[in-house]
Chains A and B, each alone.
Chain A
Amino acid sequence: RKEVEQDPGPFNVPEGATVAFNCTYSNSASQSFFWYRQDCRKEPKLLMSVYSSGNEDGRFTAQLNRASQYISLLIRDSKLSDSATYLCVVNPPPPGGSYIPTFGRGTSLIVHP
């Protein structure tokens, strides 16, 4: 089982739709979680952190479910500009003392008019 798994999609949705992505992780002791956005031919950029209590930033909501070992990202009122790949990042406990961000393969979102 991979450490971090995501449905690669693509998710193809109309403008204004609500879309949700999930990401599962294998190490139950993982400490910190993030969602990144990567546009075509660009580097990943931090979208938001994921806290145990959930995190909301405008149209974006991130949630953590430790019992089921997954994090989610909800996008409301999708815009054309939301089209991108969304990467889930998990920090499993460091074996040698240093946290190393572990990336999912990303979920592609296409928002169409």
Chain B
Amino acid sequence: SAVISQKPSRDICQRGTSLTIQCQVDSQVTMMFWYRQQPGQSLTLIATANQGSEATYESGFVIDKFPISRPNLTFSTLTVSNMSPEDSSIYLCSVTQGGGTEAFFGQGTRLTVV
């Protein structure tokens, strides 16, 4: 298993500002993902964070709004840019070792935009 530290755990932000969420893993992992979860809903994949290259975004998510970095095999960041109240959600970092293995999650970041 992997131990994942995600920061911050929660934040309240003004609209129009940006927030960067960090995800640190205690070991090297093959795959890192960023999900969003609205209240009462399932997890929606935002993007796959690729080490040393641009992230792969899912339909409906774009790099300008959700820039992602992954400088190495243990760390990634997700920025929520120019926030609006619609961005209020829980953001989750997840990792796997690839090959369809189980996923592990950070504790999540509960974001409220006012």
Interface residues of A (CB under 8 A from B): 31-32, 34, 41-46, 49, 87, 89, 91, 96, 98-106
Contacts and interface: CB of A to CB of B under 8 A. Distances in A.
Given A43-B92, A44-B43, A105-B41, A49 B102 contact: yes
Contacts of B63: none
A71 B43 CA distance: 19
Contact of B98 (A43, A96, A99): A99
A91 B92 contact: no
Interface residues of B, number: 24
Given A98-B48, A100-B33, A32 B42 contact: no
Contacts of B33: 100-101
A69 B41 CA distance: 23
Given A43-B92, A43-B106, A44-B105, A103 B98 contact: no
Residue of A89, A101, A102 with most partner-chain B CB within 10 A: A101
B103 A101 contact: yes
A106 B42 contact: yes
A46 B102 contact: yes
Contacts of B94: 101
Contacts of B110: 41
Q: Which secondary structure dominates where chain A touches chain B?
A: loop
B96 interface: yes
B101 A100 contact: no
B27 to A, nearest CB: 16
Contacts of B101: 32, 99
B19 interface: no
Nearest to A87: B42
B42 A99 contact: no
Given A87-B42, A99-B99, 12 more contacts: A32-B100, A32-B101, A34-B103, A43-B92, A44-B103, A87-B43, A98-B48, A99-B98, A101-B94, A103-B35, A104-B42, A105-B42
